[in-house]
Amino acid sequence: MSNITQSVDVDVPVTTAYNQWTQFESFPQFMEGVEEVRQLDATHTHWVTKIGGATREFDATITEQHPDERVAWRSDSGPNHGGVITFHQLSPERTRVTAQMDLDPEGLVEKAGDMLGVVEGRVKGDLQRFKEFIEERPGETGAWRGDVPR
């Protein structure tokens, strides 16, 4: 099992960063290898990814969600992983977004890529692209302000 922690500071208020992150279906616009995310209901998503030529589908459950603070998940099928995205207000117009993930790579290629830091680099790149995505627009593309207790 690998543990990954990466952060990015975005020049938007914490509410804007959080609201955009809850728009899971927008993830393909800034996450490398994510082809599609469908929100099935308030706590369930279906993902289609394509990494290294291999297409995978899996379901995930939001296990905890608190507006402007955190979104946590775990996979229900496919590669075993889970994590939490946290939002920390640095100033009224600046937010630190931190991704903490635990994942268990499947197969020789994924294990080798993980050992070489490919997965951590991808998370870092995804956060950087999120920064560009949210800073380039006048506001978030939507919001879900519901609370999912642990």
Q: How far apart are CA 53 and CA 35, in angstroms?
A: 12
Task: Give residue 116's pLDDT band: very low, low, confident or very high (50, 70, 90).
Answer: low
Task: Give residue 119's pLDDT band: very low, low, confident or very high (50, 70, 90).
Answer: confident
pLDDT in tens, 41-50: 999 999 998 8
Global confidence as pTM: 0.91
Domains located in the chain, CATH noted: 2-135 (3.30.530.20)
Task: Give residue 129's pLDDT band: very low, low, confident or very high (50, 70, 90).
Answer: very high
Q: How far is CA 55 from CA 27, 34, 44, 47, 120, in A?
A: 16, 10, 20, 10, 20
Take residue 100 and report the two structure tokens written for it.
């903490």
